[in-house]
Amino acid sequence: MSKSAIQPSPSRPGPITIARHGQPDADRTTVLDWRGYEAWWDGVYQPAGLVEGQSVPACLTAASGDAHTIFASTLRRAIETARTAAPGRELIIDACFVEAELPPPAMPGRFMAKTWGVFARCSWWLGFSRGRESRKDAEKRAALAARTLVEAAQSGPVLLCAHGWFNRMMRPHLRALGWHCVRDGGDNYWSSRRYEYRPR
């Protein structure tokens, strides 16, 4: 489909494609206690870029080619995903789109980092943020992020390269604004969802 065929009109904004980043260069099988996981999250995972040699899915290549505006979070893995999917394009890098925090619960035992991630997300969802961004504050940020994407879509198709959990947190806010998921690519690395405005 050509760009001219998908240019928005006052009653039809461009589509919004929201992608998860590619595979980060961080070993999620590392075995740690809860303090070690907290240090791993801050010092290894959050600063990590992408594993080299990954391929961009065709649907994401198409979305980046059509995009009028391309956003990425401020984290390296999201920026590298956007640059790989849309080489040479100008990016809007915005901390509004960073991943929701994963503070681990202070519990005994040693587990893989990916297991701690499950424990941390469950406890964070229940309200245990241990001084980091709370679920309530992240929900407010997700609402702001959704509005940012919707505003940009008034000028044409939008692509966001960000993070798995926070991408999901934006979904109900997009629905409330009249945006519907028309292609669901799941939650793996490089996955994406496409949203279109469908007023009631």
Question: Phi and psi for 18 in degrees, rounded to 5?
Answer: -115, 120
pLDDT for 9 equals 47
Contact 66, 3 (CB under 8 A): yes
Residue 6 within any structural domain of the chain? no
**Tell me: the pLDDT tens digits for 6-55?**
444 446 899 999 999 999 999 999 999 999 999 999 999 999 999 999 99
Within a domain: residue 100? Answer: yes
Query: Which pLDDT band, with edges at 50, 70 and 90, does 4 fall under?
Result: very low
Q: Where are the beta strands (DSSP E) in 73-145?
A: 92-93, 111-112
Q: Strand 69-72 to strand 158-162: parallel, antiparallel, or no bridges (unpaired)?
A: parallel
Instruction: Using a pLDDT cut of 90, give the percent of the chain over it.
Output: 92
**Above 80 in pLDDT, residue 175?**
yes
Here the CATH number for the domain that contains residue 132 is 3.40.50.1240
| Per-residue pLDDT band at 1 (split at 50, 70, 90) | very low
Query: What's residue 11's pLDDT?
Result: 63
What's 45's DSSP letter? I
State whether the Cα torsion 57-59-60-64 is positive or negative.
Answer: positive
Residue 78 resides in a domain: yes
- Say if 1 falls within a structural domain: no
Over residues 129-158, the mean pLDDT reads 97
Instruction: Provide the pLDDT for residue 121.
Output: 97
Question: CA Rg, the chain, in Å?
Answer: 17
Q: Decide: pTM greater than 0.85.
A: yes
- Domain carrying residue 161: 11-197
Whether 64 is in a domain gets the answer yes
Q: What's the mean pLDDT when you consider all of the chain?
A: 94
146 in Cβ contact with 170 (< 8 Å) = yes
In a domain, 43, yes or no: yes
Confidence grade of residue 199 (pLDDT, cut at 50, 70, 90): confident
In-domain check, residue 89: yes
| Sign of the four-CA dihedral 137, 151, 76, 26 | positive
Whether residue 3 is contained in a domain is answered as no
Question: Count of domains in the chain?
Answer: 1
Task: Give the residue carrying structure tokens 């801050």.
Answer: 42
Question: Which region among 9-18, 19-28, 102-111, 152-161 has the lowest average model confidence (pLDDT)?
Answer: 9-18
